[in-house]
Structure 1
Amino acid sequence: MARRKRLTPALSPLGGEAPPMQATPSRAPIAQVAGDAAALAAFEEVAGEMGRARDEGRLLLRLSRGEIRTDHLIRDRIAVDPEALEELKRSLRARGQQMPVEVVALEAGRGPRYGLISGWRRLLALAELEAETGDPRFGEVLALVRRPSDQAEAYLAMVEENEIRAGLSFYERARIVLKAVEAGVYESEKDALQSLFPAISYSKRSKIKSFVPLVAAFDAVLRHPARISERLGLALARGLAEDPGLADRLRAALEGLDPGDEAAEAQAIEACLGAGPAPAKAAGQGGEAPAEESRDAPDQSLKRDFEPVIQGLSMARGRHEVVLRGQRVTPSFIARLEAWLATLD
């Protein structure tokens, strides 16, 4: 009978019995190359989509506030309502930042990497919260990177965001029109008005245009211009056109006021408007016309520059006269107007 050969286990160089040898499956070189190419293609596709998302403003970034330059654009908002700001801070404290700000990448160099387009109030609220609480989470900002084609598009994005979220006063709207023209973003006030406010009515654009002379004349001395009402602002614009001395009188009155007194500023404007220009001399006489006659006489210099008020109704204004015209001026409309005027006594 043949003897069976006993197999002696191989010894490991480190001692003990070596583990059984396992065959390593071989892979064809072509399969290896194909797999690597597929993985690389998938990676490049993901990276490309991430890049497109970033460029198109679909990728949310977490930035330090110090990376964002807030004065990249001339801001349209002048004043911040303290109560509204406190409400925003309470929301940020409780729920964090829900809506991202919008930024544009700046050229590489010293200083912030991004310029702010919209979201100035959110940055201000975050800065105040970090100062009040010391919580570092308020030092970070959620942001979307936009790529406006030019400065005009960036200004439009800023204005649209504020028009939607918190409407600007007519003064603030007029101010950004004037400042954008001065900065060379637009060639004329007309271009700026039509580009920055394309969706609003012609009537509102006309009112914004009326406020532009106010900005040019008083921006350096007004402390609370955003508080000027539509009525007061339009009256002041008419006064500037009719009374050449009004601008100097009002600037003198405003310069002596307490900068923090909003009511005093409005009263100074009303007082200067009420004073009016010096009465004109009566025709054929060397002296001045009687005060009563000057105050009550209709404004013969009214140019009849009619502005639309609502559809079917336009109005021309003078210092002592208002003229209405249009399809809405019917007997019924006149009766309602007379009844309303009677309630003012």
Structure 2
Amino acid sequence: MAKRKRLTPLETGPQSSEPAAALETKSMFTASRRAAPIADVAAGAAASAALEELSERWEAARREGKLVLELPLEQIEMTHLVRDRIAEDPEEAQALRDSLRARGQQTPIEVVALPGRAAYGLLSGWRRCRALAALRDETGEARFGTVQALLRRPEDGHAAYVAMIEENEIRANLSHYERARIVVKAAERGVFASEKSALATLFASVPRARRSKINSFIAIVKSLDRALRFPEALSERAGLELAQQLRDRPGLAREIAQALKATPPADAAAEREILTCCMAAKPVSEPAPIQSQTPEVEPKPAPETLAQWPGLTLRRRGSRLEIDGPGADAELGADLAAWLSARFGG
């Protein structure tokens, strides 16, 4: 068999001491890729725009009250508004504390930023703040030292009070006395020009009949707010009767205040008994007027009661019809005039 001969490369010059160059490959002729400058600029601009848009949306959500904030309880000013709720039911308060302890806060409160201060005025959520403060003092746990809140921006004082009223009308069963009291206090603070304006604005969404009853309780608030100890326990029927007697007997408010001061009631039932006794007592008769020498006038016929509703009585006196009571307001007068006009074609 013939032998194979090994071939060696031809040397054209003296052997170089430098290592031979590496073999050429396809990659040697491929230029290294890099992003075009315009693409870098576009990507950076898009990222910056997206971040700016996100920041604007975040701030807008915060301003519009759509962002839940976690605030220290110390920064919440509980007395920013005159509260509509006078007393807190112990059983309801305990149930709320038990819920917060087991499940945490489920519904944010509503606050408004106070200008120039690191504090927030409370609009709604008074009971939740009190419950969290009680749990913090009881347990010492940090989770009860903060409250979740929505930052509101009411246009004026009217809107702030309306926010509180609407929240409590949904969540809490306020008494007529408590509703009337917030009307009186809001008018006293100058938030509204008058009690009538406050009543119409704060309770614009409630039925007219309920507004009429709240209006009747305003007289009780103005006459006995400092004397009564359990006014929120005053029932609707008892309150309307008391309001009527306060109008008919100018000295009744003073008699009730003196009786409550002489025998301070221990509970709502005792206070109700004192009120009943004062209303049942006959008013002190005034001295008989001096009879004049003029001929006696024929006495007017006794009125006949035709119908009676809470806060409203319809009587007939001879050929006259009389409507009396706290429900006989301007709205009822307008409705009655429209009905008579339609009936008699006037």
Structure 1 residue 252 corresponds to structure 2 residue 258: yes
**Partner residue in 2 for 1:199:** 205
Kindly indicate whether the alpha-carbon contact (under 8 Å) linking 1:181 and 1:189 is maintained by their aligned counterparts in 2: yes
Kindly indicate whether the alpha-carbon contact (under 8 Å) linking 2:113 and 2:151 is maintained by their aligned counterparts in 1: yes
**Partner residue in 1 for 2:149:** 143
Structure 1 residue 71 corresponds to structure 2 residue 79: yes
1:36 aligned counterpart, secondary structure: helix
1:161 to 167, 182, 189: 167
Please give the alpha-carbon distance, in whole angstroms, between the structure 2 residues aligned to 1:158 and 1:86. Answer: 22
Unaligned runs of 5+ in 1: 9-22, 286-297, 325-345
Please give the alpha-carbon distance, in whole angstroms, between the structure 1 residues aligned to 2:104 and 2:70. Answer: 13
Given the superposition, is the C-alpha separation of residues 268 and 259 from structure 1 closer, same or farther in structure 2, using an over 3 Å criterion? closer
Structure 1 residue 276 corresponds to structure 2 residue 282: yes
Q: Please, what TM-score do these two structures have when normalized by structure 1?
A: 0.76
**Partner residue in 2 for 1:81:** 89
2:132 to 126, 131, 136: 126
Q: Deviations over 1:210-257 (max 9, x none)?
A: 011111111112111111111111111111101111011111111234
Give the drift of 1:309. Answer: 5.5
**Matched residues, number:** 291
**Partner residue in 2 for 1:187:** 193
1:234 aligned counterpart, secondary structure: helix
Structure 1 residue 219 corresponds to structure 2 residue 225: yes
1:47 to 50, 55, 59: 55
Structure 1 residue 100 corresponds to structure 2 residue 108: yes
1:145 aligned counterpart, secondary structure: strand
1:102 aligned counterpart, secondary structure: strand
Give the drift of 1:276. Answer: 3.4
Structure of greater Rg: 2
Please give the alpha-carbon distance, in whole angstroms, between the structure 1 residues aligned to 2:20 and 2:81. Answer: 86
Please give the alpha-carbon distance, in whole angstroms, between the structure 2 residues aligned to 1:267 and 1:41. Answer: 72
2:193 aligned counterpart, secondary structure: coil
**Partner residue in 2 for 1:340:** none
Kindly indicate whether the alpha-carbon contact (under 8 Å) linking 1:180 and 1:192 is maintained by their aligned counterparts in 2: yes
Kindly indicate whether the alpha-carbon contact (under 8 Å) linking 1:73 and 1:117 is maintained by their aligned counterparts in 2: yes
Kindly indicate whether the alpha-carbon contact (under 8 Å) linking 1:246 and 1:276 is maintained by their aligned counterparts in 2: no
Q: Deviations over 1:267-314 (max 9, x none)?
A: 1111111113124678998xxxxxxxxxxxx98599x9x99769xxx6
Given the superposition, is the C-alpha separation of residues 74 and 307 from structure 1 closer, same or farther in structure 2, using an over 3 Å criterion? farther
Given the superposition, is the C-alpha separation of residues 299 and 256 from structure 1 closer, same or farther in structure 2, using an over 3 Å criterion? farther
Higher mean C-alpha displacement, 167-176 vs 218-227: 218-227
Please give the alpha-carbon distance, in whole angstroms, between the structure 1 residues aligned to 2:175 and 2:302. Answer: 30
1:98 aligned counterpart, secondary structure: coil
Give the drift of 1:151. Answer: 0.8
Structure 1 residue 31 corresponds to structure 2 residue 44: no
Given the superposition, is the C-alpha separation of residues 146 and 34 from structure 1 closer, same or farther in structure 2, using an over 3 Å criterion? same
In structure 2, what residue type is equivalent to 1:34?
A
Q: Deviations over 1:131-172 (max 9, x none)?
A: 111112111101001111111001001000000011210000
Kindly indicate whether the alpha-carbon contact (under 8 Å) linking 1:257 and 1:264 is maintained by their aligned counterparts in 2: no
Please give the alpha-carbon distance, in whole angstroms, between the structure 2 residues aligned to 1:124 and 1:265. Answer: 27
Q: Deviations over 1:86-145 (max 9, x none)?
A: 111111111000011000111123xx5211000000011111111111112111101001
Q: Matched residues, percent identical?
A: 49
Please give the alpha-carbon distance, in whole angstroms, between the structure 1 residues aligned to 2:251 and 2:148. Answer: 50
Kindly indicate whether the alpha-carbon contact (under 8 Å) linking 1:257 and 1:265 is maintained by their aligned counterparts in 2: no
Kindly indicate whether the alpha-carbon contact (under 8 Å) linking 1:127 and 1:139 is maintained by their aligned counterparts in 2: yes
Unaligned runs of 5+ in 2: 1-8, 22-30, 292-300, 316-321, 326-346
Q: Please, what TM-score do these two structures have when normalized by structure 2?
A: 0.76
Structure 1 residue 117 corresponds to structure 2 residue 130: no
**Partner residue in 1 for 2:332:** none
